[in-house]
Each structure stands twice: as structure tokens, then as C-alpha cells.
Amino acid sequence: MKEGKGYLEGCGTPPEAISKGYGVRGLRFSDQRTLSPLLSLLPVSLAVLPDDPFVITLAVVTLSLGVVIILFLSYFHLLKEIASFSYCNARFKAVGVPYVRRDELRRLYEERRVDDMAAALLKKGYRLPSTSGMTVRQLEDAMLEERLRMAKSTLAAVPEGLKPFVRAWLVRLDGEEVKRALHQADRGERVEVRHVYLITPEVAGRLRECGSPEEVVDALDGTPYRDVLREVVSSHRDSPGLWDMAVDHVGYQVLYHGVGMVDEHARPPVSLFYGRMADIRNILAVARGMEMGMGEDDVKRYLAPGGRELARWRLDRLWDAKDLPGLFSSLEDTTYGRMLKEAKTVADAERLLESYLLSAASELSARYSLGAGPALFFLLGKEMEVRNVIGVARGVSAGMEFEEILGDLTVLGVRG
């Protein structure tokens, strides 16, 4: 079984190119192809008809009705998609993603105390166990639980046509728990993980009993992570950074197949969104590989498939650069080049590229506002929002000024 396949209830063939030509405003190319042959038959049909005005009129009316039916069916699919997304999109808009905006983050910072921050979060719809006397660590744990709850509630809310991608998103979040378990076991700490999707309560229970990375890998039996990690942990026992890349690789494989399973009418924004995600993940993987001195072949094995701008041959050429400045400058002719001009470290690149991805998702939400766009922005936005809230809480606890904290947060506003 290939990595990532079979974990989303029967993966379909992933898209080999970004879907084009369809939005909420018009017909897809496939509808136009259906209509054109019918129209081309009109003069031929009229030519072979008897010279009878009644018969000719009847033929014209029949063909016209055929054209109307085809147009109706095309727009029926469009109207059906709009209707299927109407409830969940209204819900996403009502909940919102406030803490990816500077003004909202500043207001949260001005609360100054962690329990006051928690009270402000409650007013924004976050479900926290308590606010009185809450510590930074307790707030972090509560926000990470909320990240999972929000993703699961998105899965429950979206129509069936988009569920494969949201399930894949949850598998990717499984990967964050897998990385946590590996690193905790490697440091000799007690393993503490949350159950997500494939990390069921049973799997989480097995992981909590592990005392080494090898035991963690064995406990992942039944998930797409085990076989990939068994190989990389045994062959690169002292390279936890490469373990993380392998885990991310599995998550992106599942996401890629999830895109292919999305209903074709909802797929265009999902393909665009995933393509940007994959490009950014691959740029950062190569940058981290260079920074940590990893082997080129090792990193290449764990790149994400299906990027929008960076095909495999282009990713291979990134290794011609000998250092991070060279890597960033080699991308000047891409959408990501302008942001990377400001980057000096991998951390800079990650912050800038993720802020761009967030802005791109926001634009997709507006462009495909009656379809899958708002769900994609909500999924990504809530993930970034949780990180931002944790970052503000840590910064306040450390006595940092807001502008210092802001430099490590992911906010809207970066565009290519």
C-alpha cells in the first residue's frame, strides 16, 4: 500500500494539475464541451429536414429545449453546491478567526494576565475548562485541545463532497501528536499525546506506555506513519529532524490524495490551497535540511507531492544553492520570492511564508465564498490562531513588548 492511501475510505486518483475554468460564476469547460456539439448539429439537422414549416419549427424548439436542459443541469450542480455549503459557511463566518489580525492580537496582549486572556477567549467562543488562576501551560494545553475540537467540528459541518480533505487534515494533525511522542520518548520523558483521528484513544493509550522511539513506531500499527518511521528511525537514529520530515511527508501524501477525493464541483479552491501548502512545506524542508546539514537525498525522499509552482525538477535545482541566502534568492522568479527577500533564517522564512499562505486562504475564501473557500480559511486560520494565542501568552509571561511578540506570530497581510 502506498503511503497515505487507504486511510480516507478509498482514495481516488489525485489531481495531476490545478483545476482551472470553473468557479461560482460560470460553466465548467466540461459543460461547454457538452453544449458545443449539440449546437453544431443545428444547421445540419435543419438541412436534412423536409420543407415543412411545422416540422422545422418543431425541430428548432426540440433542440432549443435540449440546450436549455443542458444549461439548467449545469447550473443545477452549481446551485446544489451553493446550498450544501450555505449552513457551514454561515457558521464559519459567525465564529470567525479573530486572532490572525494585529488589532485583535494587540487587544489580547493588553489583557496582560493569563486568566484575563482566557476570559477574553471565552467571549470569542473558545471552550476553556477554567479561567481563574490559569497558568500559561494550562492555557497552552486548552488551546491545543481547542484546535482539535475546531477541526473535528469542521468535519462535522462541511458537506460530504469536502469531507475527504478535512479527514486528511485531521490525519495531518495526527502527525503533530506522533512527532510529540517521538521526541518525548527520545528524551526519556513520559509520552503524553491527544487522540485525534487515526490516533484513537486506543492508539494514544499504547503510545503513553512507550519508553523509546522504536516503541512509539511499533505502537503506531494500523496507521500510515508506522512503516515510514520504522525505516527512518532505524537508519537515522540520531536525526530527529528527519523523523519530523518523514511524519510531515505522510501527512501531505494523505492530504494530496484527499484533494483527489473531493467532489469535482468543490475541488478548484482545494487544489489551489493544497498546491500553495505543498510549495511552502517543500521550501521549508529544503531550508531546514540545509540548516541542519541533512543529506540532499534524505530530504528529497520526504518532499510533499503536488505543489502549485515548484515541480519536482525545480525542487531538485534548489539544492544548487549552497546556503540559505542562495536558496532564497533562487526563488526570486516565483510567488514566494518577494517574501523571502526579507528572510535571513529558516524561522523568518517560515513566518513570512505561513503569513502569505494565510492571506492566500483568505483570498480563496472571498473568491469561492459560496463554496469550499470559507472552510479552508477556517481550518488554516484556527490552527494559526491557536499558535498566535500561545505565542502572546508566552510573550506576556516573559515580559515582552507587543512588537517583539508580533515578530513571531502569523498574521494576515502578506501577499505575493
Q: How confident is the model at residue 339 (pLDDT cuts 50, 70, 90)?
A: confident
C-alpha to C-alpha distance for 184 and 353, rounded to whole angstroms: 28
pLDDT at 17: 36
Look at residue 400 and tell me if it is in a domain.
yes
In a domain, 190, yes or no: yes
Region 319-340 average pLDDT: 90
Q: Are residues 199 and 89 in the same domain?
A: no
Does residue 202 share a domain with residue 111? Answer: yes
Q: Which of 95, 114, 144 is the last residue of a domain?
A: 95
Boundary of a domain, candidates 73, 95, 117: 95
Residues 74 and 126 both lie in one domain: no
Q: Tell how many helices (H) and how many strands (E) occur in the chain.
A: 18, 0
Percent of the chain with pLDDT over 90: 59
Over residues 112-133, the pLDDT tens digits come to 888 889 889 988 888 887 767 7
Structural domains counted in the chain? 2
Q: Are residues 119 and 58 part of one domain? A: no
Query: Do 89 and 379 meet the contact criterion of CB atoms below 8 Å apart?
Result: no
Domain-ending residue, one of 64, 95, 126: 95
Per-residue pLDDT tens over the stretch 154-201:
999 999 999 999 999 999 999 999 999 999 999 999 999 998 999 999
Same domain? 82 vs 106? no
Task: Say yes or no: 35 and 140 in one domain.
Answer: no
Asked which of 75-89, 135-149, 169-183, 200-214 is least confident by mean pLDDT, the reply is 75-89
- In the 8-state DSSP scheme, what is residue 332? T
pLDDT at 10: 40
Residue 16 forms part of a structural domain: no
Does a structural domain hold residue 332?
yes
pLDDT at 12: 39
Residue 415 inside a domain? The answer is: no
Confidence band (pLDDT; 50, 70, 90) for 32?
very low
H runs (alpha helix) in 49-197: 53-95, 102-109, 114-123, 136-157, 163-186
Q: In whole angstroms, what is the distance from residue 370 CA to residue 366 CA?
A: 9
Q: Which three cell numbers stand for residue 290?
A: 540545509
- The whole-number average pLDDT for the span 236-264 is 94
Q: Find all residues with CB under 8 Å of 288, minimum gap 6, and list them.
A: 241, 245, 294, 346
* Distance of alpha carbon 36 from alpha carbon 182, whole angstroms: 57
> How many angstroms separate the Cα of 362 from the Cα of each of 77, 97, 101, 411, 413?
25, 10, 12, 11, 10
Beta carbons of 296 and 319 less than 8 angstroms apart: yes
Measure CA of the first residue to CA of the last residue in the chain; give whole Å. 38
Q: Mean pLDDT across the stretch 318-344?
A: 90
Asked if residue 364 and residue 249 are part of one domain, the reply reads yes
337-340: long-range contacts, CB 8 A cutoff, minimum separation 24:
338/416, 339/414, 339/416, 340/283
* Residue 240 shares a structural domain with residue 317: yes
Cα separation, 210 vs 208, whole angstroms: 6
Task: Determine, yes or no, domain membership for 2.
Answer: no
User: Are residues 79 and 110 both part of a single domain?
Assistant: no
* C-alpha span between 54 and 61 (Å, rounded): 11
**Domain around 273:** 97-406
For 221-248, what is the mean pLDDT? Answer: 93
Q: Which residue has the cell 484533494?
A: 259
Which of the four pLDDT bands, split at 50, 70 and 90, describes residue 79? low
Q: Are residues 89 and 148 in the same domain?
A: no
Structural domain contains residue 14? no
Q: Same domain for 56 and 121?
A: no
Q: Is the pLDDT of residue 242 over 90?
A: yes
Amino acid (1-letter code) at residue 160: E
The pLDDT value recorded for residue 80 is 63
Q: How confident is the model over 351-362, as pLDDT tens digits?
A: 999 999 999 999
Percent of the chain, pLDDT > 70?
A: 81
Cα distances from 36 to residues 41, 48, 70, 80, 146, in angstroms, run 9, 20, 11, 24, 51
- The whole-number average pLDDT for the span 280-309 is 92
**Has residue 18 got a pLDDT over 70?**
no
| Residues 320 and 335 grouped into a single domain | yes
- In this structure, is residue 273 part of a structural domain? yes
CB contact set of 409 (below 8 Å; sequence gap of 6+): 105, 351, 387, 388, 391, 392
Interatomic CA distance for residues 384 and 276, integer angstroms: 16
DSSP class per residue in 392-413: HHHHHHTT--HHHHHTTS--TT
